[in-house]
Each structure stands twice: as structure tokens, then as C-alpha cells.
Chain A
């Protein structure tokens, strides 16, 4: 039996995995991949699945690898930059292979909307010799998840299921099959030399790995004709279009007015590239327009193929400037790209036209810039402001400057005006190590002394902060670590982590106390305080920054997005002098003013009281007090 439901692409993948009989699921949160694990975890008890959030993507992958070695069906989930963290086990795993099945869900983020990079996992799969499936819709994501588990088991290789934001975070009506409790029939781990990588084993396995790539390429070519993931449609012209993922849909919508003109090559099995089918397609055309987001991966495959077989085909894509090399595509981007290709190709096919907006956009009045910002009542704002104040004291009293290294999470938003508290940000866990690196340059600097401060969130601390702390202590880096412990993995949608005593499926777990970890690593000064008192935070920040050698403060307060506020503040207009420090210093989204008026606090105020503590005229008071 099957049923039709509205599912987000990520949910569809989770249902696909459960339909395929996944037994073990691990992952680390990262937008846009989160809902795959969240959906599996929420059904874990019902279907008897083991689901967990691991401390990072490398750990998650290795956990899933162990499960797959024993014959289990396993999935591991992460975002594209998470794959970088997991790349060490990944690169070795392709040689070793798996026994049960292992699907690696990796979500790419063209744009990017919520990421540090615009990397392309299709290329990563190519680099790692691991097959990559690239669905274009939530339905295809569901169907290809089933295929991924089958392929992984049959070929004894991990399989990457790669999505992009628009597949992961789009909803559609999806037909899914009934799901049953998972079988408990795996063989278990069988000792064998194949599981222990060693230079000799690598040398033996490498030719087999390369042979597998050829077999998979052939298999994927065979899919043309007998499954809907890969297809070739005929056209009246000799100008072909090749596309994969969501770009295929944009291309089809773009050429709708000229339907039947362009032959179209669509593949969802992008690596190993289905060369035989692609070659067949190339032989029937004179020009090829490649429509793909992120890297010119397919374009390079086609160029290579045309070169290898001396084919006289013009290929248009990113490499000759017809399509943008970065950013997300949509129908309008693809129309421009196809038109640019048609023009370059000097064809007699008319260009495609855009639909004209109803309103002359030049007449729209200027709009406010609305950058993402920390929530009203977010504890991070108090901590950032406290460090700003403490740094001011350090500068005025001791002529010591401060550098603030940030990290990945909600608190990256501390970079926005007026806080301006993120001087560096690179990747998960980098803040502490970068601060250490900066501190070691102190004696080479001719520009005076600067204290190095690293901000790191609770989940990021467990992800990759601890190794950096150990190294900083070992090498006596003069840094202050500010742990922004809001008791959740906030930015990605509030997943639990090892510090809060609850697992992915809601079971109780041992709490790993961050302050105790810092102490056991040998950090000289470790304080834990709440973030409700600005003065208390300034004192703690000052003490830590004036400490010589590694010091740390754990600021602990519940994330305001998932907790009840403490009331609402209001501006007492009789007392307010209109200095607007509450606005110019804090940037809280609950407070605004128009140029001529006094500050106004909106309904979104959650009562953290930071503005009240900042106001020099005591003009911000709790609503109940005024009434």
C-alpha cells in the first residue's frame, strides 16, 4: 500500500530510508540537512531504529560505518561543509567498502543561504570515488533513497545522496509506501582482514575500486530507458540541453514555450558519470547547453567526452561565461544562460523571454535592509555587549586591544552592527584555534598588545572545540574562551547535544559539563555564570580577559527561541531622554524608533532586560510595573 502526503524533501528522504529498512542513523545538524535525522529520530521508537546525533560529522560517519560493517542498513546525515569534517574516514572508506548498506546524505546550499561555502558534493563524490545520486524533487528524493540503499548493498560501496536546498527544503505531494518495523536479522560483525586498512590492502583494493567506477558508470547508462531518474527526450533541433538536480526543472520550465525543440539529457546519477549514454546523446547533436548549479561538473564530463571521442560539439555552460559560476539558479537565470548560449552558438532558434512583472520595479520606494539578527532576548547579545564593555576597559586602563574570533552558529550574527563582535569566523571550531594562532603572533607585532577572545557555542564546543582547547592549553596560548551555552543547537533548529542530558530520540543521557571539560583540559581560570545580569557578565569577561594564559567563561542561559520570556519591557516616556543608546548599542529587533520619536519596544520583547540595564535614565521598565 502507498499513500500521498505533503512532505519536505528531507522528510521524504527519511521515509525512504525507513522504507528501505534503515537500522542505524547518525548525523550532525547542518542546514539544509537537519530534517532527515529529525524525522527518523521522531519515528525511531515506533519502527525500532537506532537514531543519534553524533558530536560531529566524522564521528557520525564512523559510527554509521561500524554499523554497516556488521551488515546493518545505515544512514549518516550532514550538510556540505560537514562532509569536509567527515572526509578523513570517507576517503579511506571507499577502498574498504561496506557489507550492509551505507547512505551518506549530504545537502548542498547553492546561494549560499546558510553556509560558509558553495561547494559541490558531486565533485566530492568524484574525488572520493563514491557514487552520487542527485534527485530533483521530493518524490525523486524518496525514490532515490531506496535506490541508494539497494546500490550500496549490491555494490558494497557507500553511496552519497546529494540534495540541494530546494530539494531538501521544498515540500511536495509525495507518494510513499507503508513502513514497517525494521528487521532484526543482520549477521553481525564477522572478523576479516578486509576491515583493517593497511598499505598492502589499499594497493590490492585500488584497482577494484577503479573497476567499480566503470561498472557503476555502465549501470547508470543502462538506467536511461528503464527508469525515470535518467532520461533522454528527443527534439527537433540539434541543440541539446543537459541538466541534473533542480536545474533540470528550471530548464524545462524555461524552454516550455519551445517544447519539442531541444533534445534533453537528464541524469540523476551524476557520479560515476553515465558516459555511454552521454556519448550517445552527444553524437546526435551539434551544440550542448549544460544547466547545473555550483561547479561545472557535468560540463567538464561532457567536454572530456567530446575531446576523447573527437566530437565536433560546441559545449556551453559556465566555462564560456554563458551561465553564472556562482549563486543559486532559478528559471530566470536559466533563461538568460540559454539565451546567451544560443547567441554564442549563432543559431536560428529565437531567444526565450522572461515574464514581465506587473509593476515597474524602478518605481518601488526604497526598502529597509533586513539582515538576519540575534533574536530579541537572545543571551548572546548580552554576552557580546559585556565583552565589548570589558574590552573598552582593557583598552582604556591598560592600553591592550582585543580581537574577537567567532564561530559557526546563531552567534555568528554577533558580526552585525551595532555589536560588531566577530572579527574572524572560518568554520566549525576554528575560533579557539585562530585566537591561539593570533596570540602566538603577539611577540612579532609592532602594533601593541591585543587580548585574543574566542566565542564558541555549546554544540560547536563538542563538535570541534575540545581539541582546540587542549592544543591552546598545551601551548599556553593567551586566550579567553567565551562559551555561549544556550542549552541547544539553536541555529539548525534546536537539536539536543551532549551537554543537555537528552538524546536525539528523547531518552535521558549523561550530561557532559562544559566547564568540567575545560577544567580537566587545564584551562587556568574557568567560570560559569548566567547571562541575565549585564554587570555580572562584564565582571566575568573582565576577569577572564585580564587573566594571563588560557581562561574561560561559560555563559549559560536557555535559548529564548524555545523558552518562555520573562515579561515585556516598555519605555517610560516621562523618563526617556531620547539618547537611543538602547538602539545604537544593542541592535535588539524588539526596539525601534523613527528619527523624530522616542524608542518603542514591540510585542516581540521577551523581557531579557538588557536594554533596561543599559539605559542611563532608568527609563525602560517592565510593563506590569508601569501599569
Chain B
């Protein structure tokens, strides 16, 4: 399977560990990712709030590039990119005025978008296209004993994803279980991570981070697994602030692709685990070699 790949800004910056772990895992499963040539900002977050039309035009340019690349599926690992690209696609189909704006803007740079590219998240592709059986076959170091709170955040399944339930997503749960880990029941799996609040209204943002970390700890999780670079950053980077406000609550947050890499036995250096402020120290037990 070949996909056009849209990394977005995070995966080249703060979320490098996501890309670092994603690429070898996908390669290991025989999936080819072809990074879009000359991609630009997806149009997420502040841009969308300031000028929706311009944000959609930005996203549409990426969709048009994907279409031109000849791939009919575009992989967007960052939950924010995934949301905006999907949103733009919906707007393009549902609102003629927005379509006209997009068409006009793209025409100015000799691009066109027909509206067919499927925007996919790696989680969806891994579980629904590759399949859990194929993934299980690649597991050489099962994550036996690791208790994981799966955390999806707000953007992945709401409102455009069709591959999971918006209130109670379970795709990552099934994936993590296939890796041999134990999933703890975590009722906050789609709550806000604090998002941009940590930068604008820090006391509200930090409180949200605390609630998420504290609930994961109370439920005995060794780590939180996430699908979004912003969630990972928020839950990882503010441990100090949480400590000064509420006391120590230390729970590492990893990308689900890092857990896959560990289970597949990929070299640790490839997985970017060391980049976290509070890195996951736990390692899967080395399987005993049967004596001849």
C-alpha cells in the first residue's frame, strides 16, 4: 500500500518523535509513505479561528497536491491536520461558496482539486486496512505488563472520523491490546488536553493537564498513549507546573507508534522515546530464547 503523506509542522518540530516512530513502523508493515512535495501549513488552530476561508484554502492546496501526486489516499498523522483536511473536504462538497473560493485560489497557482482524496489517519489505516492480525504477527516483544491509558483527544474522532465512535473510540484500545499491553478503562479519553489554553489561560490549561494525568494515575496506568502531537506536548511538558499547583503526578505520555516500535523490536533510537520531558522508562521483557 502506498500513501501520500502529510507530516504537518508538528511532526517536523516539537512532535518529531511521532514522525521518527511512525516512519519505521509503517515501513516495517510494508506501507510506503510518499511525503507531499512542497506541502504547506494545514490551516489548523489559530488560523481557522481567524479566517476560515483562508484556512480552508491552505488545506485545499495540500489536498490538491495530494491529488496531483496520483495517490488517492492522504495520510495525516497529526490530529489537527487530520481534522482540518477533512473539514475542508466537507466544506468543499457542502458549501458552494467555499468551493468557489477554493477553486479560485487554487486556480491562481495553477492547481485544481476534484474533491476525491481520502484523508486517513494512521490509526485507521493500521487497524482497518493492515489489520490487527498482521500487526500481531510482527510483535516480537509483547508489551506484557504495561498498563496503558489510551487517550484520543478532541480532534481525531470529532466530528469527521467515520472509523470510530465519537464518544467512546476504541480503535487504539484494540491496537494496544494487540501489542500485548493492558488497556486501563479511561473515561477521559476524548476530553480536552488543555490545548492552546496552556499558552493563553495557563491556570485552566494546567488544571486540565492535571485532571488527565491524575485520572490516569488513579487508574493505575503506566503511561498515556496518544495520537496527537499537541496532546503529547501538553501532557508531557507541564509536569513541573502541575507539581507546583497540585503536587507530583508523573505519568509519561507516548505516541501509539512508539509503543508499536517497542513491540516490533525496532531499535530504540529510531523511536524518539528520549525526546520526551518525562520519558517512558518501561521496556518490554526480552523474550526468553528457548534452549536447543
**Is chain B a partner of chain A in the same complex?**
no
